[in-house]
Amino acid sequence: MTVQINLPASGVRSQADFDNLPEVSPGWAWELRSGRLELTLMPVTFWHFRIVMLVLEHWLRLGHEVAGEQYVADSGFARGETGRNNFVADGVVFESGYRPAKNSTTHDATNIHTVIEAVSAGSEDRDAVDKVRVYAALGIPNYWIIRGDADSDDIDGFITMYQLVDGEYQVVGNRLVSQLSVTD
């Protein structure tokens, strides 16, 4: 469920307006999207944040530039443009040799090498079905989905690695995040 509050034409809300917003349950947050303040489910746990960072660090070691969720959300890389119905990737790995400009805010899908998603409670269909179709249509060469063991205290995850072949993703490997090395 999404609750929307339209901003005035100036885009400015007072502190009093913000303070009077309804209290939200844990896991939910107010988020500004396309000129609307929306109540959005934000199930980012410590594991989710940390596992994405570990995978992005792997790609940094391989010499790629990377970006995490908040930057991606703000950058416009999601279905190729900004907008209310976009998907936000947990992480992106840019093509080898591509270095975003210091003040860049948008990126063409052709500059993306890999999209990374960490599956959270309730996001399996979105991450493993909906996003797969969209990122394949955008031509993103690689898509990594990370799943964790809910019964373990271990900060690790199981990666399913997909590669784009003839416009569709094919599984090309599986690995634990802890098994990533600079030779991958």
Going by pLDDT thresholds of 50, 70 and 90, the confidence category of residue 137 is confident
Residues contacting residue 24 through CB under 8 Å, at least 6 positions apart:
30, 39
- What are 54's strand-pairing partners? none
Is the pTM above the cut of 0.75? Answer: no
Task: Over range 146-165, report the average pLDDT.
Answer: 88
Contact by Cβ (8 Å): 27, 121:
no
- Which of 1-10, 48-57, 97-106, 171-180 has the weakest average pLDDT? 1-10
Token couple for 172: 């090309």
pLDDT value at position 6?
56
Task: Over range 18-38, report the average pLDDT.
Answer: 63
Longest CA span, the chain: 54
Q: What does residue 93 show for φ and ψ, rounded to 5 degrees?
A: -115, 125
Token couple for 131: 């996003």
Instruction: Give the number of other Cβ atoms within 10 Å of residue 181's Cβ.
Output: 10
- Match 């890999």 to its residue by tokens: 114
**pLDDT tens readout for residues 78-134:** 444 444 445 677 888 999 999 988 887 677 788 899 999 988 766 777 777 778 888
Average per-residue pLDDT for the chain: 76
pLDDT value at position 38?
64
Task: Over range 60-72, report the average pLDDT.
Answer: 81
Residues contacting residue 164 through CB under 8 Å, at least 6 positions apart:
136, 139, 140, 141, 142, 143, 170
Residue type, 87: F
Q: Where in the chain is the domain with CATH 3.90.1570.10?
A: 46-179
Q: Which CATH number fits domain 46-179: 3.90.1570.10, 1.10.1060.10, 3.30.390.30, 3.40.190.10?
A: 3.90.1570.10
Separation CA 33–CA 13 (nearest Å): 14
Separation CA 116–CA 29 (nearest Å): 22
pLDDT value at position 45?
77
